[in-house]
Each structure stands twice: as C-alpha cells, then as structure tokens.
Amino acid sequence: GAGVSQSPSNKVTEKGKDVELRCDPISGHTALYWYRQSLGQGLEFLIYFQGNSAPDKSGLPSDRFSAERTGGSVSTLTIQRTQQEDSAVYLCASSLVYGELFFGEGSRLTVL
Amino acid sequence: AQKVTQAQTEISVVEKEDVTLDCVYETRDTTYYLFWYKQPPSGELVFLIRRNSFDEQNEISGRYSWNFQKSTSSFNFTITASQVVDSAVYFCALSESVRPGYALNFGKGTSLLVTP
C-alpha cells in the first residue's frame, strides 16, 4: 500500500504474555519510528531506526521492550511479560532522512 | 519538563467560527523544528506543517494559518471558517535535532469539536 501499515490493529492480551507489533513503512523511507500514545502520557517517542545505523533506543521505557528492523524495511516491536501499564496505542512512522513523518493508524494494545 | 504545552485540552465551536489552537514550546537550541499534526478519529496522525526556527514567516494554507513567534515561543494554529470535518485532535510537536523528524516531543493535544 501507499501508507504505513501496522498490524494488528487491535490486540488484547493477558498480563505476563509477550506481544509483537508489526510495522511496514512506506517503500523507500529509510527512517522508522515507534511512538506510544496513552491517556496519561500523551505521545512518547520509543525508538528510531535510520538505515543500517544502530537504532536509538533511548525512549524505550524498560528492558521488556525491544524492536528490530529487518532488511531496512519491516519493523517489529516486542513487549515481553506485558503489564497493564503497557496498554496504549503504538504508532509507527516512517520518513525520508530529512522528511516529515508519515504515521500508520496504530496498534491498540490492551493488557488485561 | 514538558517541552511543548498545549493549554487547551478541548475546544468546541460551531461551524464557520474561527478557532485558534495554542502551542507554547521550550528549548535552548537555536536550531529546531515545529510541527502540527491532526489526528482524526481513525487514529492516523496527519502531517500539517513543519517550520524551522529560522523562518518566522507566518504561513497560510487554505483555511489554515500558523503564527510562529520566537519572542513568545509560540506556534499557534488558526482554522478559519471551521467545518465539521475539522473535528480531530491536533498535536503540536518540537524536534530539537538537525533531522527535523527525529524524536518529536509532542504536546498533549487539543481536541477540537466542530458542531453544525
């Protein structure tokens, strides 16, 4: 498709389970970002990938969170041993190196 | 510390009214970028505008206009003759990197409701 694609759009899981969220960026965009949107915290930066450089993980809230980007394209955000406070909408965005961010529609995670 | 403050949490106007969304930012950098994004009910953040810190010219795009004032650290957004389709959450954001989209600091958003 033409835009950033995220899956699943909705995920309900039980506390303690691991979840994986996927992002397929716009073709040709070298930069990829993950943000988290929650009621209490607004929009928070999580992680940034640029080409083959080491990712900037400075926004990840704990070591339960990790992300990878394979082949410079698709990215997976993994949350291990989910907690209720992880419930949020996880937004992925991509851009050219110096370009505007284009966001996906997000993956809504609910941890019971 | 909050780098971007959107003091208005919710605004409700009647169609055709003008409405201004406030954004105040805080940074010590001389090079930075400011953004506005719109988030309709579908959830996807839609880019509206980017300004760099060296360009204080106001910008108009159709019914949208932006007023950037470094003296007051503000980057306000005005919608003229509002329409129901303008109903959305609007976010102001700041990037303190030379890469304009990098690590955006978002405000908490202003929810705009335009009623017929």
Backbone CA torsion sign across A19, A69, B45, B66: positive
Interface test with A, best of B96, B102, B108, B110 (most A CBs within 10 A): B102
Angstrom distance (rounded) from CA A79 to CA B43: 21
Residue B26 pLDDT class (50, 70, 90 cuts): very high
CA distance B40 to chain A (A): 10
User: In a 3-state reduction of DSSP, which class is residue B30?
Assistant: coil
Q: What is the pLDDT of residue B55?
A: 86
A29-57: average pLDDT: 87
pLDDT, tens only, B62-102: 999 999 999 999 999 999 999 999 999 999 999 887 665 66
The number of angstroms, rounded, from the C-alpha of A26 to the middle of its chain's C-alpha atoms is 14
Nearest to B103 by CA among A106, A53, A88, A43: A43
Q: Are A13 and A81 in contact (CB under 8 A)?
A: no
Nearest chain A residue to B98, by CA: A98
CB-CB neighbours of A109 under 10 Å: 22
The mean pLDDT value of chain B amounts to: 91
User: Chain B neighbours among A 9-28 (CB < 8 Å)?
Assistant: none
Kindly determine whether residue A101 and residue B45, on different chains, have CB atoms separated by under 8 Å: yes
Q: What is the pLDDT of residue A5?
A: 95
Write out the E strands in B7-73. Answer: 10-14, 19-21, 24-25, 33-39, 46-52, 59-61, 64-69
Angstrom distance (rounded) from CA B34 to CA B74: 10
Q: Residue B1 pLDDT > 60, yes or no? A: no
A43 or B16, greater pLDDT = B16
